[in-house]
A and B are shown apart, each in its own frame.
Chain A
Amino acid sequence: MKYVYELHKTMLAHNLIIVYEGEFTQEITKSVLAMAERNMDSIGESASTKRKVFNVMVECLQNIVKHAEDLNEKDDDGLRNNAIFMLGKQANEYIITSGNPVRNPVIERIQTKLDKVNSLDKDGLKGLYKEILKGGELSDKGGAGLGFVDMARKSGEKLEYNFEPINDEFSFFALRTVVPRAGGD
């Protein structure tokens, strides 16, 4: 039972206010969002910060929901829809982190998108957003291809990411987005 205390300490040490591990669906997304909203309301967080955190959380959670479906057929290896989502709160910022398994062949595509987003400044991101919005069709998964761009715009900082190899077929994709707290800094 020691792991309970260890996990508790880890969460406190990283200032994690929400950790969810498991299957991701739209219903779970709504529940996690509601928890985060209540948490931010209870400490009187500014409306502007709340909106940005909410925004980044939605894109992050819906990304996982959309792409977790890719893994559905692999239910014998325990990967399935399982992913992790964390919301952390520091004095000056909120940290939205997610981790989910992805198929190795898609890594390059994700990486290219993220590197492009991270190479752009505020105006560059605005331009890219409009370009994708105008030119793009929704993917067969219903994504607009705008998630990372939007997250970077709401954050104002670079999106940190990492791919940890799981096996020949999968890697674990971790993504970290920071939202500065208004008035903090």
Chain B
Amino acid sequence: MEIINLEGTEESPKIILDKENSIFEISGRSLPEDAAEFYKPVLEWLESYGQSPNSETLFTFKLEYFNTASSKLILDILSKLEDVTGTKISWYYHEDDEDMSEAGTEFADLVDVPFEFKTY
């Protein structure tokens, strides 16, 4: 399967989606002007990954900041992952970042996927 590997910028996160090496990660900052457009390839990738996923999918979110438009797309990504059996979310937050920790808890409440919380 094709690999998605996007370098992070001041307004968009670093994204790696690599089925073969089992790396699924979104990290950094997410405040693109058009969040829907930015995340479209990610959602499409997950859609096709969901057809024949690995037995385990450990998906890492290590976000420093995301805007409210991105939060909607993060929920869309999590909803896609809901349908992929063997998915676990690793939600990283900076140890003094209560808001990011709380955001993770809120997402965890909204979807039926196990979350693991980790600090960095």
- Report the separation of the CA atoms of residues A106 and B109 in the bound assembly, to the nearest whole angstrom: 33
Within 8 Å of chain A (Cβ to Cβ): is B65? yes
Q: Report A-chain residues with C-beta under 8 Å of the C-beta of B109.
A: 130
- Interface residues of A, dominant DSSP: helix
Q: Report A-chain residues with C-beta under 8 Å of the C-beta of B102.
A: 126
A130-B99 in contact (CB<8A):
no
- Report the separation of the CA atoms of residues A97 and B72 in the bound assembly, to the nearest whole angstrom: 25
- Report the separation of the CA atoms of residues A171 and B12 in the bound assembly, to the nearest whole angstrom: 34
B69-A62 in contact (CB<8A):
yes
B96-A47 in contact (CB<8A):
yes
Q: Report A-chain residues with C-beta under 8 Å of the C-beta of B71.
A: 133, 144, 146
Within 8 Å of chain B (Cβ to Cβ): is A147? yes
Within 8 Å of chain B (Cβ to Cβ): is A116? no
A62-B96 in contact (CB<8A):
no
B94-A55 in contact (CB<8A):
no
B11-A144 in contact (CB<8A):
no
- Give which listed residue, B34, B35, B65, B98, contacts A55 with CB less than 8 A: B65
A126-B68 in contact (CB<8A):
no
Count of interface residues, chain B, beta-carbon cutoff 8 Å? 24
A143/B11 contact (C-beta < 8 A), A48-B97, A126-B106 known: no
Within 8 Å of chain A (Cβ to Cβ): is B3? no
- Report the separation of the CA atoms of residues A142 and B106 in the bound assembly, to the nearest whole angstrom: 21
- Interface residues of B, dominant DSSP: helix
A51/B99 contact (C-beta < 8 A), A58-B67, A130-B106, A138-B36 known: yes
Within 8 Å of chain A (Cβ to Cβ): is B75? yes
- Residue interface bits A27-48, CB-to-B below 8 A is 1, else 0: 0001000100000000000011
- Give which listed residue, A130, A138, A154, contacts B35 with CB less than 8 A: A138
Q: Report A-chain residues with C-beta under 8 Å of the C-beta of B36.
A: 138, 142
- Give which listed residue, A55, A58, A143, contacts B99 with CB less than 8 A: A55
A47-B94 in contact (CB<8A):
yes
Contacting B at CB under 8 A, from A90-134, are 126, 129-130, 133-134
A30-B75 in contact (CB<8A):
no
Q: Report A-chain residues with C-beta under 8 Å of the C-beta of B33.
A: 26, 62, 65, 142
Q: Report A-chain residues with C-beta under 8 Å of the C-beta of B94.
A: 47
- Report the separation of the CA atoms of residues A171 and B71 in the bound assembly, to the nearest whole angstrom: 30
- Report the separation of the CA atoms of residues A129 and B106 in the bound assembly, to the nearest whole angstrom: 9
CB distance from A163 to the nearest CB of B (A): 23
Within 8 Å of chain A (Cβ to Cβ): is B10? yes
- Report the separation of the CA atoms of residues A126 and B99 in the bound assembly, to the nearest whole angstrom: 11
A133/B11 contact (C-beta < 8 A), A62-B67, A138-B35 known: no
Known pairs A129-B106, A143-B69. 10 more at Cβ < 8 A?
A: A30-B10, A55-B65, A58-B67, A62-B31, A133-B71, A133-B72, A142-B34, A142-B36, A144-B72, A146-B71
